[in-house]
Chains A and B, each alone.
Chain A
Amino acid sequence: MHALDIKLLRDFKRLWVQAVAIAMVLACGVAILLTSVGMYNALSETRTAYYERNRFADIFAQAKRAPLSLLAEISRIDGVMSVEARITGAATLDIPGRTRTAVGRILSYPEDSDPLLNLPFLVKGRFPNPISTKEIVVNEPFAIANGFKLGDSFSANLRGQKRSLTIVGTALSPEFVYTIGPGALMPDNESFGIIWMPERAAAAAFDMTGAFNDVAIAVASGMTTAPVIDALDTLLEPFGGLGAYDRTAQQSDAFLDAELKQLKGMAAILPPIFFLISGFLVSMVMSRIITLERSEIGLLKAIGYSDIEICLHYLMLAALIAVVGVGVGWVAGTVLAQSLAGQYARFFDFPFLIFRVSYWVYAAAGLAALLTTSLGATQAALKAARLAPAIAMQPPAPPRFKRSFIDDALARMRLSQSTVMILRSLLRWPLRSFLTSLGLALAVASVVSSTFINDALTEIIDMAFYQTNRQDAMLLFTDDLPEAVLEDVRHLPGVLQAESQQFHAAILHNGHLTKRVAVESRRPGNDLSRVLDADGKPLDVPANGVVLSKRLATQLDLRPGEKVDIEFLTGRRETFSVTVTALVEQHFGLGAYMNLENLNALFRQAPRVSTVNITLDTDQSDALHVAVKNTPHIAGIIEMNENRRSFEHTIEENIVVMNTIYIVVAMLITIGVTYNAARIQLSERARELASLRILGFGRGEVSYILVGEMMLIALVAQPFGWLIGAGIAQLMTSAFTSDLYAIPLVLKPATFAFASLVVLGAAFASVMIVRRRLDRLDLVSVMKTRE
């Protein structure tokens, strides 16, 4: 081994704590890059493969009842490659040993062949016998959650007919990668299941012989979906078509898309920040090393080493740091990716998950890390290479300080000399002070931008479950029923209060802007499900008006007082021009609200309801479930407490994981920045601090200069960190906002305080570790050597 290489390794050994502190920050960047890009690829590759193998459709549409003969016409639409029609319906399920009602979504399974589209992936057992009226296949997660084995039976209420169904197989489907039951906010596999039933049995149950109410289409490759959707809507209109939509509005795919978007955002925003910080740290440490090794560099040159050899020598030191960072990042990234894959396996029902992270992602992350550290070291290494040997062997000139107006200000403040030393040093190297402060500000921002979610979710839960939806449960009907049904509901066991609510699929038009939503209508003064204005006061929708959620209004470019055309996809499929009377803030979905009486008047019919909101005497909850399972027309019951609990439970787990990761990351950044900055301070100041000790300053007084300067930088960083954190939080709320949900920007003082506490605590601990070196300072030798 060459002597220069030995020097390299020894230097690295000597600097190992500093090197590791930088390497850890670098490792964060590598790990996050690996995880986000790796998981993005894994998830999108898995999705593509699954969709392709199981022929996931491009366009979906529901209708009331369309004749099978229409299929030929649909196939003739330009661009249509294949068409699959089927019968779907809802059923309440009575599962043995379970008091609560479960809800099933019934899908017909074709008689003579496999489905052309949305082919279920059989996990266990077999598909049902086409002529059987009992045999079914259920989705695997539902079977697992309820502990079903092949051959198990449960009864279902199919439009008033009780029927016993026997499970002969379990399956997964590309349509239900992410499965949410009606009215639920999170997947709950125990109470919502997908049921594949032989076509003949489904047709009989839902009165659909010779007809269908659900159609899926695959378009030829290279074709756009919009013209096909238009043509399909025209064909289905006479048969109660509810408006066709493509994958972007398909619930499961939309959730997958939202997840992919998040991963992409994570890959784009976070790793560059980490790489930047480590580049800065490397540059800071390297220029210090080169200042300290000035005479050695001169000596090396005098011996005959070339500029390039010296430049490379110092670049190699940076590369060694990168190697450690990349190594740790690879390991951490692999572990993180696997745990994320585990999360995906829980949320997304794939028959397989390609969660290998490709080698090129490892290579790219490593290369990016190596590049940024080398860039960080370049300036210092070049400076070393450019030093003329004769000059290099002389000591450097003392740092220049000049009087400025700031000094007069300092003088007027009558500060102690130690404080003046701190302030002058900060002002003497403003860029370095700024970058150090920026590094710490980013650490603060990291905590702020992850922990604000806690408060945001508290607000979401408060809004969704305590302010707007105050009912204990929702009863869903298979079809809209006359409002008189409220009286029947009030007679169900345990029901204390019952209020009506109606949903209509509709397309809102404002010029060229359109949006498919569910228009919700209710009676004024309803107390259980409410719409709230900006002040949190209940808002009654005036007759002849519509209230929109702000996000919907933004998408349609509508303001209060303007008219919106509402094309109802139900009933007579009429279009009405309605005035937007108010906008409301909402976190879930894109709400549009009308007055129940007024809406039914527009439809020229007596008021009808699709849902009844109820409050319950909880003691009689079991009796209610028994009654619900035996009542025709009830498609399901949603218990809001259950809903809330499952939402809180799922979210909480995720939040704890995420917060922990970001807090650890913030601490690593803080330690990396503070420890290195303090070490450099100490090495630059060793002589001065030793002089002070000789002059009679105590350890505490001397430490004050070191600790004070670092903590002052850390303190200055706080407000910037809050600002950057608030900015990132703002970006995140808009990046994560989709038609499905919106995260409100809730920033409380406690969030900022917590972030500052974490970062200041970590900074103080790091600088105190360096402070211990002050105690070991050899006063005599420091004074004897000339720097």
Chain B
Amino acid sequence: MAEVVFKTKGVTKVYKTGEVEVYALGGVDLELFKGELTVLLGPSGSGKSTLLNILGGLDHATDGQVWFGNTELTDMSDRDLTKYRRDHVGFVFQFYNLVASLTARENVQLVTDVSPDPMPAEEALTLVGLGKRMDHFPSEMSGGEQQRVAIARAIAKRPQILLCDEPTGALDSTTGVQVLEVLRDINERFGTTTVVITHNAEIQRMAHRVIFFQDGKISETRVNKTRIAPSEIVW
């Protein structure tokens, strides 16, 4: 039995806007295992991003409990959550979120400067296939390249978990495939537990496990017996 990296029990998240209460998550029980590549699927507003944010220490659950290994995240202070993110979590977002005034290498160094056991920025960039474009600014790169810099930045700290929210959402099929290949490569090479949120149902076929969300709850969990390579994904 693989080691449990994340465990949630009855996690709910309620957003209050004025008088209205919106249930983003309505009691989610989930376990994620070490080295697993999981895809979260579901329509907009089904709660997948909310769960990802809670797992990543960006948001607090309204109710329920969340464990990272043996550590409970549920009531962690802001300072501890910052440390948790710094030491364990890598994020990849739809809109890259690179610092415009820093080159690719420097964007990665942002992380390597503060992590306890990082890989060299150059190595991280080479891993994502950008060894030759390290001194370019974001404005000098394509969307796919920028997203790969973001991935390099996320993995440079050797995180235990990589959380990706629509990593290919802003990309065309060719560059999207490149990005997915990098994600799979990282997952396999380092055994990093990877969670990918996507709207693209085809992407589920590269995952170990697929979790379907509907109205703030898990509606179905499916284990892929056979996985396909990103290059086989039809966009």
Contact = CB atoms under 8 A, between A and B. Distances in A.
Interface of A: 397-403, 416-417, 420-421, 424-425, 428, 687-688, 690-699, 701, 779-780, 783-784, 786
B47 interface: no
B132 to A, nearest CB: 15
Nearest to B136: A403
Is the contact region of chain A dominated by helix, strand, or loop, or is it mixed? helix
Interface of B: 49, 53, 56, 58-59, 78-79, 82-83, 85-87, 89, 91, 93, 95, 97-103, 106-107, 109-111, 113-115, 135, 137-140, 153, 157, 165
Contacts of B135: 403
A401 B95 CA distance: 19
B93 A783 contact: yes
A545 B89 CA distance: 90
Contacts of A397: 139
B150 to A, nearest CB: 9
B82 A401 contact: no
A702 B135 CA distance: 24
Nearest to A403: B135
B58 A417 contact: no
Contacts of A779: 58
B23 to A, nearest CB: 17
A402 B137 contact: yes
A695 B58 contact: no
B59 A417 contact: no
B97 A420 contact: no
B139 A694 contact: no
B51 to A, nearest CB: 12
Contact of B106 (A417, A692, A699): A417
A398 B138 contact: yes
Contacts of B139: 397-401
Contact of A420 (B86, B102, B111): B102
A426 to B, nearest CB: 10
B93 A420 contact: no
A536 to B, nearest CB: 56
A401 B91 contact: no
A687 B93 CA distance: 12
Contacts of A701: 114
Contact of B113 (A417, A425, A690): A417
A780 B95 CA distance: 13
A688 B99 contact: yes
Given A398-B139, A402-B137, A780-B53, A696 B87 contact: yes
B159 to A, nearest CB: 10
A412 to B, nearest CB: 14
Given A403-B135, A698-B82, A424 B113 contact: no
30 contacts: A398-B100, A399-B101, A400-B137, A401-B100, A401-B103, A401-B137, A403-B135, A417-B99, A417-B109, A420-B101, A420-B102, A420-B106, A424-B101, A691-B97, A691-B98, A692-B110, A694-B56, A694-B58, A694-B91, A694-B97, A695-B91, A695-B110, A695-B153, A696-B89, A699-B78, A701-B114, A780-B59, A783-B97, A783-B165, A784-B49
Contacts of A420: 101-102, 106
B103 A694 contact: no
A153 B69 CA distance: 103
A425 B85 contact: no
A786 B146 CA distance: 15
Nearest to A693: B82
Contacts of A699: 78, 82
Sorted nearest first, the 6 A-B pairs with minimum C-beta distance are A696-B86, A424-B101, A691-B97, A696-B85, A401-B137, A400-B139
A780 B101 contact: no
A417 B102 contact: yes
A697 B82 contact: yes
Contacts of B53: 780
Given A424-B101, A687-B97, A691-B97, A698 B79 contact: yes
B99 A691 contact: yes
Contacts of A399: 100-101, 139
Given A417-B110, A690-B97, A695-B91, 19 more contacts: A398-B100, A399-B139, A402-B140, A403-B103, A417-B99, A417-B106, A417-B109, A420-B106, A421-B102, A691-B98, A693-B82, A695-B85, A695-B86, A696-B82, A696-B85, A701-B114, A779-B58, A780-B58, A783-B165
Nearest to B157: A696
Contacts of B113: 416-417
Contacts of A424: 101-102
A417 B105 CA distance: 10
A784 B100 CA distance: 18
A45 B89 CA distance: 76
Contacts of B140: 402
Contacts of B97: 687-688, 690-691, 694, 783
Nearest to B153: A695
Contacts of A400: 137, 139
Given A398-B138, A416-B113, A697 B86 contact: yes
B164 to A, nearest CB: 12
Given A417-B106, A692-B110, A428 B58 contact: no
Nearest to B99: A688
A694 B82 CA distance: 8
Nearest to A407: B103
A146 B9 CA distance: 91
A701 B111 CA distance: 12
A784 B170 CA distance: 12
Contacts of B93: 783
A424 B56 CA distance: 30
Contacts of A698: 79, 82
Contacts of B59: 780
B137 to A, nearest CB: 4
A301 to B, nearest CB: 25
A688 B59 CA distance: 18
B161 to A, nearest CB: 13
A421 B106 CA distance: 10
